[in-house]
Structure 1
Amino acid sequence: MIGRIPGDGTDRNAGIDLLRGLSILLVVIHHLALRIPLARTALAAILPATLLHALNWNGYSAVFLFFVISGFLITSHSIRRWGTLSAVDASAFYRRRATRILPCLIVLVAILSLLDLAHVPYYTITHPDQSLPRAILAVFGMHLNWYEGHTAYLPGGWDVLWSLSIEEAFYLAFPLLCRATARHAVLRAILFAALALSLPADYALLSHAPEIWREKAYLPGMAAIATGICAALIAPRAPLRHVPALGILGASMLGAILLWQPAIRQALGHATMLLLTLGSAMLLIAFDRGWGRATLPRIRALSWLRAYGRLSYEIYLTHMFLVFPAIALFHGLGAPIRYGWLWFLPVLPLAWLLGHATERLVTNPAERRLRSRFPFDPASIRPHSADRAPPGTGPAARRS
């Protein structure tokens, strides 16, 4: 999930940052709540059970939310840089992705490897069918999800990288597909739409697969990314008069899934996650078209969540370095489960601080150095096909 998305600037889209912040916040809470269930803490006497369940178990849904955001932003920025998807420069696309993703990922894998070699609890690979060299190969070979599906869960610091394998495998093919369909933009859009709408069928095909593979298979995640791509292609053409209704509908769909997913799953079955991805896409289109642009940045109570969103990649990769020590300390002190919710309070801000430090010390310096050594500023290309943004409506000034 959560490969680093381009667009760190002053003209950020507050709505999209908010969605990214919600996504990573739910992931961090989920990984804590797996070990300290919120329903067993004193919060159960204060907060509704539906809300506690949503906080406890929506980490997986949050990853799919970020898949949609990723597809939307990568497509929007590709159109902004090259004018049209038909003109995407595969070499420049790969270099840009590598400079954003690899520095932090390499440092993370190096640290995880040292912790495994030192047999540090919570970070040691112990399953007989797994090994450190094979885990490293799975990470950089973009198939850690497949590796876990055929062996077992890796320790948590490694396990979070399953979503990155899906994203990067998809983006390996993305520019090649765009260039292969350069003269057939409509066909390309149909292919992406078909992949996006295949989500229920993907889960149906996986219904008899082992649980771990049902969660981490390639097709469902790629369908969510394709949903974001379709949203980016639609956004510049969305009539402004319909944007508020689209935003409200999208927020309602996303909120319903996050709050009442068990009941909705009973009614919709395999189509449940499609409701989430479509609702997310509607919200992204609305935010891209200016919905909430004037009001969201002024809501100070949400500024921390937007800050979480701006560091979502770094937080996602590093937060398990805080989750496991917190859990170990919780159990080591013999803390009553009733007060377990208190352990969430320091971890959440510390996760942001660790993500911020990682960005300042690793991501940004490495990216600047790599870009100065291997410059790739694609020449401006005039839009000329059906996937171009109409003049004055494209995402060029709405980076996120």
Structure 2
Amino acid sequence: MIGSHRNPHIDLLRGAAIASVLVLHFALAYGLKDSPLGSLFGPAFVTAVARNGNYGVTVFFVISGFLITTNSLARWGSLSRIDARAFYAARARRILPPLLLALAIIVTLGCAGVPYFDNSDADPALPASFFVPAVGSVLTFWHNVLMQSAGYFNYCLNVYWSLSVEELFYLALPLVALLLRRTWLLVLLGVALIVAGPLYRAAHADNELYYLYGYLACFDAIALGCLAALLAHRLHRPLPHARLLRWLAGAALISLYLRGIHGHEVFGFTWIALAAAVLLVTRRRASGASMATARMLAPLRWLGRHSYELYLFHVVVLALLRNLFSKEEIGYAARLPLFALFLAASALLAWGVRRLLARRIRSTGRSGLPGPA
């Protein structure tokens, strides 16, 4: 959703989701609980906020399913009338230019042997030639599958597992919609995916490469987003008690997030996705926030508008920082300034890339990817 078509409430939710991912990855690299933030808010709270960032990815999946379905219905009137060629072309124009730029940076530095860009996360380290299947898997929607067989092998590239989940959804949606044609069959498929998600995660609850990154581990969130969009499309007036539902869903989202992933690998992601879906269905079309609240939340909405570029390039910034400053060198007082530097540099790079590729972004029209939109 570009320009005037953007919904500020969805941008806000997306901004919170990408913020949780940024915090997670910085905390994994440098730690945050032993910083002024830990002293201010308590180490347990900071750890909960930082360590559960994968729930933010789940929220991305819900937004993706919701926006792709909503925008397809708005453009073609029915999912069964999707123009697959136009759909794929729009997705490629939006996704590929910044992705190819990010991959070019990572591969160039990785082949030069720069730590955190090469394939040394694997044990033993993999050669530069492994970039061929690695980059190929990112571009052909199975990077998460490659990780399940090779493990964590590249600090930067492994972040792109979620894009493979998104891309497979984009590939499948027009084909499935044109094949099934009936809305009730699409709904039935969505329900089947929602049931399959917890079952798959239960079968792999002891292996995060599966319960976090597998297709079936993530498609229940996308399905909930799609079903939420189909419901919203049929609503001719706001849901009864929409404001109450929105507040309850927001409270549930925060509570589930802070409760954490550990011990809740099976249903935790589904409940997070359901709360996010309720927020989307009950969202307000016009902002009723005060000017003060709007200004206060503006940075989070900005993150939402630039979430795809942040997703792609924040790990490049973090890898560069890790080459400059080891975790052992960064003590209590330095962690918060370094975190601020990481956020500022990631935001500046994301803004620059989006500006550089703005013409291509505008040419896609409305978009539904939680990062790329």
* Same fold, judged at TM 0.5 (above): yes
Q: Which one of the candidate residues 47, 68, 74 is aligned to 1:74?
A: 68
Is 2:370 the counterpart of 1:346? Answer: no
**8 Å CA contact retained: 2:205, 2:265:** no
1:284 partner letter? L
The answer to whether the 8 Å contact 2:30/2:330 transfers is no
Corresponding position of 1:261: 260
Q: Distance in 2 between matches of 1:333 and 1:181?
A: 56
> What is the match of residue 294 of structure 1?
288
State the shift of 1:323 in Å: 1.3
Instruction: Give the match's secondary structure for 1:10.
Output: helix
**How far, CA to CA, are the matches of 2:243 and 2:117 in structure 1?**
46
AA of the residue aligned to 1:271 = F
Matches within 5 A, 1:150-229: 150-182=149-181, 184-208=182-206, 210-229=207-226
Cα–Cα, structure 1 residues 115 and 276, in superposed 2: closer, same or farther, change >3 Å? same
Per the TM alignment, residue 342 of structure 1 is displaced from its structure 2 partner at its CA by 2.2
Identity among equivalent pairs (%): 34
Q: Deviations over 1:191-236 (max 9, x none)?
A: 112212432212112235x432332111121111111001111123
Partner of residue 51, structure 2: 57
Match for residue 308 of structure 1 among 292, 303, 309: 303
Distance between the aligned counterparts of 1:89 and 1:110, measured in 2?
31
Q: Does 1:35 find its partner at 2:29?
A: yes
User: 1:242, 1:293 → 2: CA distance?
Assistant: 18
- Whether the 8 Å contact between 1:197 and 1:274 is mirrored in structure 2 is no
Q: Contact 1:38–1:44 (CA<8 Å) still a contact in 2?
A: yes
Q: CA deviation at 1:117?
A: 1.3
- Alignment pair present for 1:132 and 2:131: yes
Are 2:320 and 1:325 equivalent residues in the alignment?
yes
Residue aligning to 1:94 = 88
Identify if the C-alpha distance between structure 1 residues 155 and 180 changes in structure 2 by more than 3 Å, giving closer, same or farther: same
Letter in 2 for 1:193: V
C-alpha distance in 2, partners of 1:168/1:36?
Answer: 31
Q: Deviations over 1:226-282 (max 9, x none)?
A: 1100111112327433211221121011111111226xx64x662121110000000
Inter-partner Cα distance in structure 1 for 2:290 and 2:51: 27
Q: Deviations over 1:298-330 (max 9, x none)?
A: 521110010000000011000112212333333
Question: Residue 160 of structure 1 aligns to which amino acid in structure 2?
Answer: V
Shift, 1:296, TM fit: 6.8
User: How far off its partner does 1:112 sit?
Assistant: 1.3
Judging changes above 3 Å, is the alpha-carbon distance between structure 1 residues 332 and 53 closer, same or farther for their aligned structure 2 residues?
closer
| Greater displacement, 115-124 / 253-262 | 253-262
What is the deviation of 1:154?
Answer: 2.9
CA distance in 2 between partners of 1:296 and 1:152 (Å): 48
SS in 1 for 2:257: helix
Shift of 1:86: 1.4
Distance 2:89 2:265 in 1: 40
How many angstroms apart in 2 are the aligned matches of 1:231 and 1:14? 18
Counterparts of 1:43 and 1:90 in 2: how far apart (Å)? Answer: 48
Asked if 1:278 is matched to 2:277, the reply is: no
* Pair 1:252 & 2:246 matched: no
Aligned-pair CA distance for 1:332 = 8.4
Q: Is residue 249–residue 282 contact of structure 1 (8 Å, CA) maintained in 2?
A: no
| Amino acid paired to 1:227 | L
Contact 1:129–1:151 at 8 Å: present in 2 too? no
- For 1:194, the aligned partner's letter is A
Provide the secondary structure at the position in 1 that maps to 2:56: helix
Does residue 111 of structure 1 match 2:105?
yes
Which sections of structure 2, spanning at least 5 residues, go unmatched? none
1:15 aligns with 2:9: yes
**How many positions carry a matched residue from both structures?**
360
Any idea what the Cα deviations from partners look like across 1:140-196, whole Å, max 9, x if unmatched?
Answer: 1211111111012132221111000011012211111111121x2112112112212
Q: Secondary structure at the match of 2:185?
A: helix
From the superposition, tell whether residues 82 and 226 of structure 1 become closer, same or farther in structure 2 (CA, over 3 Å).
same
Structure 1, unaligned stretches of length 5 or more? 1-6, 378-394
Q: CA deviation at 1:12?
A: 1.9
Q: In 2 relative to 1, CA 197–327 (structure 1 residues): closer, same or farther, beyond 3 Å?
A: same
Instruction: Provide the rounded CA distance (Å) in 2 between the counterparts of 1:365 and 1:223.
Output: 34
Segment drifting more, 194-203 vs 107-116: 194-203
Match of 1:123 among 117, 122, 126: 117
The separation in 2 between residues aligned to 1:111 and 1:154, in whole angstroms, is 17
Instruction: Provide the C-alpha distance between the structure 2 equivalents of 1:360 and 1:187, rounded to a whole number of angstroms.
Output: 41
Relative to structure 1, the CA distance from residue 58 to residue 37 in structure 2 (aligned partners, 3 Å threshold; closer, same or farther) is same
Q: Could you tell me how far apart the structure 2 residues matched to 1:309 and 1:156 are?
A: 24
Distance 1:245 1:76 in 2: 23
- Is the deviation greater in 45-54 or in 168-177? 45-54
Q: Distance in 1 between matches of 2:167 and 2:37?
A: 39
1:230 to 227, 238, 243: 227
Change (3 A) 1:241 1:311: same
What is the aligned partner in structure 1 of residue 79 from structure 2? 85
- TM-score, normalised to structure 1, is 0.84
C-alpha displacement of 1:333:
8.9
